[in-house]
């Protein structure tokens, strides 16, 4: 297949590239390509004529999105509109990567794929705008929601925890924000399997099991031999940030599991990541 991969320099993009080795893949990322430049993007996609566009590129800095919601909408909403319009123009399938932050975090059990969306921050609203464009401009699409990604070399929670542990010798971590720590390698494998199915729809793709940020931090310290470092639980309300995350927003994988696409527990994936 001929594929366009947006955000190929990002955490997920880098994990996807080796899995697509049997295909002809063109990358779209800054600074060479900007998805907000509709004319240039459409021309590039028209020239390449992909069968499938994988679209993980996004403004993923949630605090930055809160400080500049217009930019978040421009990149995550209208940038995705541009990608979807280009896909429609060349008759390509599209896979859009979305987030658990399209949910409000008021649930008492993990969100299934068809749960009502109600984002509470600018990042989540802008990613929901992206979902809206994909759903309304295309018929042959996948929306793959994921959460709490980490990858080698990426800016992410495990790296931050290890850095702070070594700098400070003790940590305070939020105990009432719950999600699914997810290793990009596992997500990339699931996406590579999903696109083979052509079973279009909405999917939740996260490592199995939920954790609080506190649980996640404790496991990172345990697996990296830093178990003795004290961790004080903190309430979300005590941790002032520009962007408020949904408090309880783990995702349930029903739709992908029905296709045989399942994930190992988050602790096993984290152990592999930390031993690499």
Ligand X SMILES: NC(=O)c1ccc[n+]([C@@H]2O[C@H](COP(=O)([O-])OP(=O)(O)OC[C@H]3O[C@@H](n4cnc5c(N)ncnc54)[C@H](OP(=O)(O)O)[C@@H]3O)[C@@H](O)[C@H]2O)c1
Q: Considering only residues 16-75, where is the footprint of ligand X by CB under 6 A?
A: 29-30, 33-36, 56-60, 75
β-strands 231-234, 171-174 pairing = parallel
* CA distance linking residue 16 with residue 3, whole number of Å: 12
- Would you count residue 181 as binding ligand X (CB under 6 A)? no
At its nearest, how many Å lie between ligand X and the CB of residue 29? 5
Report residue 93 as tokens.
């399938």
Contact segment (CB under 6 A) with ligand X among 141-149, 168-176, 228-236, 251-259 equals 141-149
Report residue 268 as tokens.
């096993």
At its nearest, how many Å lie between ligand X and the CB of residue 123? 8
Give the burial class of 217: count Cβ atoms within 10 A of its Cβ; 0-12 exposed, 13-18 middle, 19 or more buried: buried
Q: Considering only residues 82-121, where is the footprint of ligand X by CB under 6 A?
A: 97, 99
* Catalytic residue list contains 150: no
How many residues sit in the footprint of ligand X (CB under 6 A)? 28
Q: Which of 33, 123, 214, 248 is catalytic?
A: 123
Strand partners of residue 54: 5, 95
Exposure string of 115-151, with b = 16+ CB inside 10 Å and e = fewer, is bebebbbbbbbbbbbbbebbeebbeebbbbbbbbbbb
Among 48, 50, 72, 79, binds ligand X (CB under 6 A): 79
Among 82, 121, 146, 243, binds ligand X (CB under 6 A): 146
Provide the annotated active-site residues: 123
Question: Could you list the residues that contact ligand X (CB under 6 A)?
Answer: 6-7, 9-13, 29-30, 33-36, 56-60, 75, 79, 97, 99, 127, 146-149, 154
């Amino acid at each position: 297949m001929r594929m366009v991969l947006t955000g190929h320099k990002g955490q997920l993009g880098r994990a996807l590239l080796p899995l697509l080795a049997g295909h002809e893949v063109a990358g779209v990322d800054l600074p060479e390509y900007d998805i907000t430049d509709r004319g240039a993007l459409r021309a590039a996609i028209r020239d390449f004529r992909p069968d499938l566009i994988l679209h993980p590129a996004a403004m993923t800095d949630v605090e930055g999105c809160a400080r500049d919601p217009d930019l978040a909408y421009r990149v995550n909403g209208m940038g995705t509109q541009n990608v979807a319009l280009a896909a429609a123009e060349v008759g390509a399938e599209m896979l859009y990567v979305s987030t658990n932050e399209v949910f409000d975090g008021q649930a008492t059990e993990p969100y299934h794929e068809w749960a009502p969306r109600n984002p509470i921050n600018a990042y989540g609203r802008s990613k929901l705008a992206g979902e809206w464009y994909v759903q309304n401009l295309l018929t042959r699409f996948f929306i793959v929601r994921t959460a709490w990604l980490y990858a080698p070399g990426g800016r992410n929670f495990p790296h931050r925890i290890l850095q702070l542990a070594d700098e400070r010798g003790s940590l305070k971590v939020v105990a009432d924000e719950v999600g699914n720590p997810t290793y990009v390698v596992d997500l990339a494998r699931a996406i590579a399997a999903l696109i083979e199915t052509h079973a279009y729809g909405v999917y939740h793709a996260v490592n199995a099991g939920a954790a609080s940020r506190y649980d996640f931090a404790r496991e990172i310290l345990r697996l990296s031999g830093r178990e003795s470092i004290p961790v004080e639980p903190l309430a979300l309300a005590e941790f002032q940030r520009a962007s408020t995350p949904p408090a309880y927003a783990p995702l349930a994988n029903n739709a992908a599991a029905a296709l045989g696409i399942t994930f190992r527990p988050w602790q096993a994936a984290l152990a592999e990541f930390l031993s690499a």
